[in-house]
Chains A and B, each alone.
Chain A
Amino acid sequence: GNSVTQMEGPVTLSEEAFLTINCTYTATGYPSLFWYVQYPGEGLQLLLKATKADDKGSNKGFEATYRKETTSFHLEKGSVQVSDSAVYFCALVTGSQGNLIFGKGTKLSVKP
């Protein structure tokens, strides 16, 4: 079946450090890939997405490239801020009904 595996946290970084959160997937067909972010006490919100191979999603300094050959969608940011502290979820969807399949989430803490 379809599944998403992302690196386990928590991840603790100093401000301005480089961030990578690994995400790999297993899916039949051609999934769309997403990164969602959950700030403390809130619901999830879309950070970025990519809908086909080699697409790059980007938003707020975060980037991820859809790599079909390695079935990966790693999240990167060149210089994290304290305000980036949150839980990050990688997810995929296949088919027309839009059912998201989530990874388990990676908690990021950024220290000043």
Chain B
Amino acid sequence: NAGVTQTPKFRVLKTGQSMTLLCAQDMNHEYMYWYRQDPGMGLRLIHYSVGEGTTAKGEVPDGYNVSRLKKQNFLLGLESAAPSQTSVYFCASSFPFEGSEQYFGPGTRLTVT
């Protein structure tokens, strides 16, 4: 099993450009999450999904959109990138049980200039 994979690993964007980050998991997990990690801030939840076709906002959703068309994939989109979106992005997935472990991908380092 590959677990949780993220594509791409690194990306540099100019302000105003758009891009999509792809997360895939092969563990048949219902729940999927997108976090961003900034120095001194820990991880903050951007959006999450509790099942195929569903999405919901997390703590810091502004400037991002998501889609979950297939159970195994969770896409994070930036329509018009801003320097404040420079961060490391992590995807995670889990089973739908209280207290379940979240499994994290290796991260995508995004720089917006």
Interface residues of A, Cβ cutoff 8 Å to B: 32, 34, 36, 42-46, 49, 51, 89, 93, 95-105
Contact = CB atoms under 8 A, between A and B. Distances in A.
A76 to B, nearest CB: 21
B98 A103 contact: no
A5 B31 CA distance: 26
Interface of B: 4, 31, 33, 40-45, 48, 50, 56, 58, 90, 92, 94, 96, 98-102, 104-107
Contacts of B102: 44, 46, 98, 100
Contact of B106 (A42, A46, A51, A89): A42
Contact of B101 (A49, A89, A105): A49
Given A42-B106, A49-B101, A98 B94 contact: yes
Nearest to B90: A43
B107 A99 contact: no
Nearest to A104: B42
Contacts of A46: 101-102
B58 to A, nearest CB: 7
Nearest to A102: B42
A62 B104 CA distance: 20
Given A42-B106, A89-B43, A104-B40, A99 B98 contact: no
A101 B35 CA distance: 11
A97 B43 contact: no
B94 to A, nearest CB: 5
Contacts of B99: 32, 49, 51, 93
Contact of B43 (A95, A96, A102): A102
Contacts of B107: 42-43
B104 A44 contact: yes
Given A89-B43, A102-B42, A97 B48 contact: yes
Given A43-B104, A44-B90, A100 B45 contact: yes
